[in-house]
A and B are shown apart, each in its own frame.
Chain A
């Protein structure tokens, strides 16, 4: 027999998995579809399905399972033509003694940045946000998407180029 792993059918284990992964998987789907309600819906259904299939999914593979299942359900949904990343929020700066004019400019810039990211192709957008907002390494992203690290680096460099193209002129130094 194989080594004993915690069974996902145990409510305690299941809750642990939910708390560990629900947020990150939901964000991942959000970056794809740009609709938070839709992303939560997709991921919640994935977890309901996980409960039904709890005995067939092994604990050590559950993370990969969640990402894959969520991605598959996302692909089955009708893609949004135009997305708005209204749920990306700016970190409130800890120091508030900055020049108000500068802050206003920064706010404005952030809005443009969000729009620019939203208009990136989905494949570039998800890689860019997983890396820069979720602070995941290229290796982690490659694992989540089931791709090689090289492919991730390529998508990332495309995203950087596109963003620079749109935003480069906005930057005043």
Chain B
């Protein structure tokens, strides 16, 4: 029986099981004894049941064994946790390294010197803030700055100071920036370039002994003769400047507030005051201008009158 032999072959049956037989083959096979016998055996087999297994009994057996086993998992857990923690720490370090900024700030009456990586020194006057990006700083020397500071910059590539009024770029020099209510740059050595944010002004180059001031959107240029900014010597000086600026400067150097009482604050003042004695400072500024003053007991509030 050649057909029976064909049906009773491993290949043919495998194809049958996979459902790969043609219609014709299937009809032929279904009519054969091989198919009949296999189906009869299969039917008998399908009526067999697997062994009876008592799962609950096994579970209580295993549970009691488990209780004797000292669990190690906590250690593995910790492993996972420490790996995760290490990853986070790494990310954080990476982040601060690439995107982090370093910042310094001074409060009322404080002064601080900051030594930068390239050897430049920035001496900050009171109530000032300096920040810069750590990453690749020496290739791109730039700082954000607000307040007043004296910059002693080591020569090298461009050094840029960004302020709210514009940027000051230098190669290597000494200069002072005052960015309070008014904006002032003084060049003490070498030369600096000021690029105003306000584009109606063109950029300006300052050489030694030159200063520019930005007052109400106007640029004024002047010569000056000191070798260091007055604030570094412990006092603030004024020439023909309104009383309001003097009072602002006083409240930067001393933690005080002024009670103005309708006082005319536009009168001009020329002179200076010291940074280390409040009574002296008030005396030297206010008395020449004919302003009476009274200091509160806690030395916080100064009340002014004509």
Contact = CB atoms under 8 A, between A and B. Distances in A.
Interface stretch (B43-51, B208-216, B235-243, B272-280): B43-51
A156 B58 contact: no
Given A53-B73, A158-B10, A164-B37, A138 B59 contact: no
Interface in A59-99: 87-91, 93
Given A44-B58, A164-B38, A134 B50 contact: yes
A152 to B, nearest CB: 9
B136 interface: no
A113 B65 CA distance: 38
A115 to B, nearest CB: 12
A52 B49 contact: no
A19 B44 contact: no
Contacts of B10: 154, 157-158, 161
B36 interface: yes
Nearest to B44: A113
Nearest to A27: B50
Given A23-B53, A156-B17, A164 B8 contact: yes
B76 A18 contact: no
Interface string B221-244: 000000000000000000000000
Main secondary structure of the interface of A (DSSP, over half): helix
Interface string A12-53: 000100110011001100100000100010011001100111
A113 B66 contact: no
A26 B72 CA distance: 26
Interface residues of A, number: 56
A53 B74 CA distance: 10
B62 A18 contact: yes
A147 interface: no
A157 B55 contact: no
Contacts of B90: none
A128 B41 CA distance: 12
A132 to B, nearest CB: 4
B45 A132 contact: yes
A9 B73 contact: yes
B8 A132 contact: no
B194 to A, nearest CB: 51
B62 A44 contact: yes
Nearest to B69: A52
B18 interface: yes
B71 interface: yes
Contacts of B36: 173
Interface string B29-46: 000001011101110111
A97 to B, nearest CB: 17
Contacts of A90: 47-49
Nearest to B12: A157
B10 to A, nearest CB: 5
Contacts of B16: 157
Contact of B53 (A27, A56, A138, A158): A27
Contact of B42 (A47, A87, A114, A132): A132
A167 B37 CA distance: 8
B13 interface: yes
Contacts of A132: 42, 45-46, 48
Contact of A54 (B9, B42, B49, B73): B73
B138 to A, nearest CB: 38
Contacts of A19: 55, 59
Contacts of B14: 150, 153-154, 156-157
B62 A87 contact: no
A158 B14 CA distance: 8
B199 interface: no
Nearest to A173: B36
B61 interface: yes
A150 B18 contact: yes
Interface in A104-136: 106, 109-110, 113-114, 117, 128-129, 132-135
6 contacts: A27-B53, A56-B73, A87-B50, A133-B49, A138-B17, A153-B18
- Kindly list the 3 A-B residue pairs having the minimum CB-CB distance in the complex, ordered from nearest: A157-B13, A87-B51, A55-B73
